Amino acid sequence: MIVSVASGKGGTGKTMVSTNMALALGEKLTFLDCDVEEPNAHLFLKPEKELVELVTTSVPSVDESKCTFCKKCSDICRFSAIIVVGTNVMVFRDLCHSCGGCMVVCPENAISETGRELGTIEYGQRDSIRFVQGRLRIGEAMSPPMIKKVREASFPDQLTIIDAPPGTSCPVIAAMNGTDFVLMVTEPTPFGLYDLQLAVEAVKLLGIPAGLVINRCDIGDRKVYEYAERQNISVLLEIPFDRKIAETYSRGKSIVEEMPEWKDKFLRLYRDIELHLERLKETV
């Protein structure tokens, strides 16, 4: 099973939820930090780093001695990553989505592939938790290709927990797409509700079952609860606005280890996800 922990709004506590659920389970699993622009799950899981792998993506390289400047490559590129100006071909490597269309349509075979660095993937281990995180190269504009590379590190016969990036744009879709369950983390504030609504619409488009964790549940109002009820989304866990929890998190410690009473709550959260999926199977 693959569980993706996501949030429409940044700072709601999805890394706290994903890391504590992984630690509470205490079983063999893979943890993927797909927030490749700002990975931080390692601060709480503290894995022993074992391997760093360079990740590249393909971009076109043009041999102008073969090129007839027919513009077929620029016509097919939706992202204007390659354009022909007179007798010059300009390649904008940062705009390229590595689809290979320009190479396919080139009648002179003047275009070949070359590599562009995206960033690195780091592998590590924390007890029974296999840890993988992506780290995007500084200045790199596109994170979905890196996220897809991190996703490839999951094992099909093992539980995978994904810490997704915040928001509802392409990086989040890349992290959530194809997972079995999305655990959305929000807070009961107007900003939390607004961004939750966007996240719910994205999850609906992907057709993935979802549940809700409400962090800092005793602030704000009840509108998030009312929205969840209207959308038939189960609230699987509530976390109070607690000073001890905040202090534990700010020191890079895990709640389940510093406050043992929370271990059962995170275990129950995972069991509720399993029950939710079992009920869905029974109704199909």
Q: What is the pLDDT of residue 200?
A: 94
Residues 77 and 173 in one domain: no
Residues 156 and 232 in one domain: yes
Residues 188 and 251 in one domain: yes
Instruction: Find the CATH number of the domain harbouring 166.
Output: 3.40.50.300
Residues 11 and 102 in one domain: no
Which backbone phi and psi does 82 adopt, to 5 degrees? -140, 125
Please report whether residue 176 resides in a domain: yes
Domain total in the chain: 2
At what angle are helices 190-206 and 223-230 packed, to 10 degrees? 20
Please report whether residue 87 resides in a domain: yes
Residues 173 and 146 in one domain: yes
Please report whether residue 51 resides in a domain: yes
Q: What is the pLDDT of residue 92?
A: 94
Task: Give dist(CA 196, CA 16) in Å, integer.
Answer: 18
Residues 239 and 163 in one domain: yes
For residues 26-48, average pLDDT: 95
Q: What is the pLDDT of residue 284?
A: 63
At what angle are helices 14-25 and 261-283 packed, to 10 degrees? 90
In the predicted model, is pLDDT for residue 115 greater than 80? yes
For residues 46-65, average pLDDT: 94
Instruction: Find the CATH number of the domain harbouring 82.
Output: 3.30.70.20
Residues 166 and 196 in one domain: yes
Residues 36 and 159 in one domain: yes
Please report whether residue 114 resides in a domain: no
Residues 260 and 237 in one domain: yes
Q: What is the pLDDT of residue 37?
A: 94
For residues 25-44, average pLDDT: 95
Q: For residue 8, what pLDDT band results from cuts at 50, 70 and 90?
A: confident
Residues 104 and 242 in one domain: no
Q: Of 109, 142, 172, which closes a domain?
A: 109
Residues 215 and 273 in one domain: yes
Residues 195 and 172 in one domain: yes
Q: For residue 168, what pLDDT band results from cuts at 50, 70 and 90?
A: confident
Which backbone phi and psi does 185 adopt, to 5 degrees? -110, 130
Task: Give dist(CA 188, CA 202) in Å, integer.
Answer: 20
Please report whether residue 96 resides in a domain: yes
Segments forming the whole domain that contains residue 198 = 2-55+121-283
Query: In this structure, are residues 35 and 145 in contact, taking their beta carbons and an 8 Å threshold?
Result: no
Please report whether residue 116 resides in a domain: no
